[in-house]
Amino acid sequence: MSDAPVSFLPYGAIIQSLNVGGLNIVQGFPRQEDYEKFNFPYFGATIGRVANRIKGAQLDSINGGKTYALAKNNGPNNLHGGNVGWDKKVWNGPTPMGIRQIPGLGEIEGGESVKFDLVSPDGEEGFPGTVEVSVVYTVGKQQQDGKEVIVLGMEYEAELVGGAEETVVNLTNHSYFNLSGAPTIEGTVVTLCTNTHLPLDDGGIPIAGPAPFPKVEGNTPFVLGAVDPDIDDCFVVNTDSKTIPIDTRNEKLVKLVEAHHPDSKVHLEVYSTEPAFQFYTGKYIDVPEVPGALARGKRSGFCVEPSRYVNAINVEEWKNQVLLKKGEKYGSRIVYRAWRE
C-alpha cells in the first residue's frame, strides 16, 4: 500500500505502523529482524491459533473426548498459541484484494485491501487439525467534523481442512497503542463499553462467569495514570455464550473502547463483532533499546484485543465460541478509527 498511513509485515501479519496526524500510534520496530529478536510483548501481531490463555496448557475433550497437551509458555498455561504461535510465522502476502468497504461503519474513502494467509499443519504446537487462516486488512478514510479519520479494518477467516474433525481457533490483533508519543500512556483518557468482565485467578484464567469489574465503570471515562489502574482483564460484550457463533462477521459492529490524549489530541476507537475483549495497560512490556523503535518499557502502550472468552474451549457452556468443526468457517472483524484534532 504505497503512501498509505498503515504498514504491515508478513512476519506475524504484523501491523507495523498506524500514522495519525504525523504520529505513529502503535508500538513496534523498524525491521523484521527486530521483531524476531525482541517482540516478546507481541507488538502488532496476529495472534493464533488461540489468543489469550488455555488453562493447564491442555485441551480437555474434543474430537471424541481426546485430550491434547500444549506448550506451557505462561506459567502452567498456554498463551497466544504457544512457543511458536502464528505471531512468529512468516505469512504469505501481502496479496492485493482490491477496494472494499467495511460493513457497519458507513462509507469509507479508499478501501484498499491486502490479504495475508497461512497454513497451520496438524499437530503444530500440539493443536489438532490442519487449518487455513487469513486476515484481510482494509485501509481507508472518513471525514468527521472536518477532521480526516484513518480507518483500518481487519477480517479474519479460518477453516479446518484436514487431520481432525474439530479444532480450536480464537484470533486477535495485539497492537499496543500510545496516543501521545510520550514514554508512557499516562494521561490517556479511556472509556470501555462495559464493566462486565470474567473474574480471573492469578494466572489469568477465569474462575467464574461474567461479573461487574471493580476497578472502573463501563461507559464512564477514566484516566490512565503512571501506575494505576493496572488492568489485564477480559471484558464481556455478549454475556449469552449460547448465542455466539463460530463466525461473528455478520454480528453487529460494536464500539468496544474509545481513547484520547489531551496533549496530542489524538483519538482512537476500537470496534469489533467479537463477544469479548482483553484490555491491558502494558505492565509487563520489557524490551531493549532498539534504534528507531517505538518500543519502550512498562505502560508504554495499551492493548485492546477483541476475541472470544478466555479458556472457552475448556468450559462446556463456552466452548461453542471457539470449537471449529470441519465444514465450518471461523470468522471475526476488528476496526480501528483514529484521528487528530
Q: pLDDT digit string (tens) for 268-285?
A: 999 999 999 999 999 999
Whether the pLDDT of residue 266 is over 80: the answer is yes
Cell of 207: 474462575
Task: Say what the pLDDT of residue 2 is.
Answer: 40
Range of 27's domain?
6-340
The Cα-based distances of 216 to 83, 162, 233, 237, 298 in angstroms read 33, 44, 12, 16, 21
Q: Residues in the chain, how many?
A: 341
Determine the average pLDDT of the residues in 186-208: 97
Secondary structure element (H or E) that encloses residue 33, with its range? helix 32-38
How many domains are contained in the chain?
1
Tell me the percentage of the chain whose pLDDT exceeds 90. 96
Q: pLDDT digit string (tens) for 312-335?
A: 999 999 999 999 999 999 999 999
Q: Is residue 280 part of a domain?
A: yes
Edge-first strand order for the sheet with 14-20 is 6-9, 14-20, 23-24
Read off the CATH number of the domain in which 15 is found.
2.70.98.10
Q: Are 108 and 114 contacting, i.e. CB atoms less than 8 angstroms apart?
A: no
Ramachandran class of 64: left when φ > 0, alpha when ψ lies in -120 to 50, beta otherwise: left
Task: Say what the pLDDT of residue 290 is.
Answer: 85
Query: Looking at 10-14, 81-85, 216-220, 290-294, which range is the least confident one?
Result: 290-294
Task: Say what the pLDDT of residue 122 is.
Answer: 98
Closest CA to 305 of 172, 155, 171, 151: 172
Task: Say what the pLDDT of residue 3 is.
Answer: 54
Task: Say what the pLDDT of residue 1 is.
Answer: 43
Q: pLDDT digit string (tens) for 66-87?
A: 999 999 999 999 999 999 999 9
**For residue 295, what pLDDT band results from cuts at 50, 70 and 90?**
confident
Determine the average pLDDT of the residues in 219-225: 98
C-alpha torsion sign, points 252, 260, 339, 289: negative
Closest CA to 193 of 279, 132, 266: 279
**Distance of alpha carbon 268 from alpha carbon 259, whole angstroms:** 5
Whether the pLDDT of residue 4 is over 90: the answer is no
Q: Is residue 22 part of a domain?
A: yes
Task: Say what the pLDDT of residue 33 is.
Answer: 96
Average pLDDT, the chain: 96
Q: Is residue 1 part of a domain?
A: no
Determine the average pLDDT of the residues in 45-49: 98
Q: Is residue 244 part of a domain?
A: yes
Determine the average pLDDT of the residues in 169-189: 97
Examine the residue annotation and report whether 260 is marked as an active-site residue of this protein.
no
Determine the average pLDDT of the residues in 57-67: 96
Q: Is residue 162 part of a domain?
A: yes
C-alpha torsion sign, points 274, 17, 12, 137: positive
Task: Say what the pLDDT of residue 296 is.
Answer: 81
Catalytic entry in 174, 197, 260, 267: 174
The Cα-based distances of 19 to 25, 99, 151, 164 in angstroms read 6, 20, 11, 42
Secondary structure element (H or E) that encloses residue 59, with its range? strand 58-62
Task: Say what the pLDDT of residue 129 is.
Answer: 98
Whether the pLDDT of residue 63 is over 70: the answer is yes
Q: Are 150 and 132 contacting, i.e. CB atoms less than 8 angstroms apart?
A: no
